[in-house]
Amino acid sequence: MADQSIISALVLGLIEGLTEFIPVSSTAHVLLAGHFLGFRSPGNTFAVLIQLGAILAILLVYFQKLLSIALALPTSATARRFVVSVLVAFLPAALIGAAAHGFIKSVLFETPMLICIVLIVGGIILYAIDRLPLKPRYTDVFDYPPSLALKIGLFQCLAMIPGTSRSGATIAGALLMGTDKRSAAEFSFFLAMPTMLGAFTLDLYKNRDALSFDDIGLIAVGFLAAFVAGIFVVRSLLDFVSHRGFTPFAIWRIVVGTAGLVGLWLVG
């Protein structure tokens, strides 16, 4: 295992963990970084497996909240409505993702220029939404009705286009539907759990024939990096968003997308 490959795996793992839960598109960052680092894995299995690190990170940070919700289900109508809302929001992406998985992975994920353009366009949209004088009607994720959750879930489907960002689509949709910034980000966290687990399971199944444990060391490095970075982001994002909004992420998207286009033009 070459030192360069280990460094690439570490970098990609850190990128996955740092970007998975913020509205900048972890998929775009991992794919573009892998492209310019010359790091490839059959069926993108490396990217699939290190994502589990980010999934475990959010499950760990939210373990107490998840446990309290589970314990409250038999007696709390609020807890039951919240679980229904998350599942309703998850359903559209689950159906479309399963039906269009082959096209998304084989066509959209293999087009770096499209990813860069979507990053820039998404950044402009997120910046515009963050600047709108919106008056939130919902400030607590447990008050989100299933009808609102369904609309947010439909926005999440936009993330099928790499570069859009799952969290970015859900947060933007939630803000437009009348939520405040903090609760929009937190609902995105809760929605990430079934969505990421579902996507991970489907990717793992679809790529089962391409899986190889020859690179288990690289996968372990990427997994641990994604796990540690994911914990840091999940623990700090809500307070950051409450004070700074989403404009810094919008600007970052535009910068990365532009740099990606320049890089593709220079080196292909």
Ramachandran angles phi, psi of 138, nearest 5°: -125, 125
**pLDDT for residue 162:** 80
Q: Collect all residues with Cβ–Cβ distance below 8 Å to 266 and sequence separation of at least 6.
A: none
**Domain locations along the chain:** 3-267
**pLDDT for residue 47:** 73
Determine the straight-line distance between the first and last CA of the chain, rounded to whole angstroms. 26
**pLDDT for residue 42:** 53
Percent of the chain predicted with pLDDT > 90? 59
User: Is the separation of the CB atoms in 54 and 21 below 8 Å?
Assistant: yes
**pLDDT for residue 214:** 63
**pTM given for the model:** 0.86
Least confident of 34-38, 82-86, 231-235: 34-38
Alpha helices in 157-268, H assignment, sequence order: 166-176, 181-206, 216-244, 247-267
Residue 191: band (very low, low, confident or very high) from pLDDT cuts 50, 70, 90: very high
User: Is the separation of the CB atoms in 199 and 97 below 8 Å?
Assistant: yes
pLDDT in tens, 1-16: 455 588 888 999 999 9
Rounded Cα gap, residues 185 and 160, in angstroms: 19
- From the number of C-beta atoms within 10 Å of its C-beta (0-12, 13-18, 19+), residue 47 rates as buried
Choose among 226, 93, 251, 257: nearest CA to 159.
93
Choose among 107, 126, 98: nearest CA to 206.
98
**pLDDT for residue 1:** 44
**pLDDT for residue 96:** 86
pLDDT in tens, 146-171: 999 999 999 999 888 888 888 999 99
- Taking the CA atoms of residue 14, residue 174, residue 72 and residue 21 in that order, the dihedral angle to the nearest 10 degrees is 0
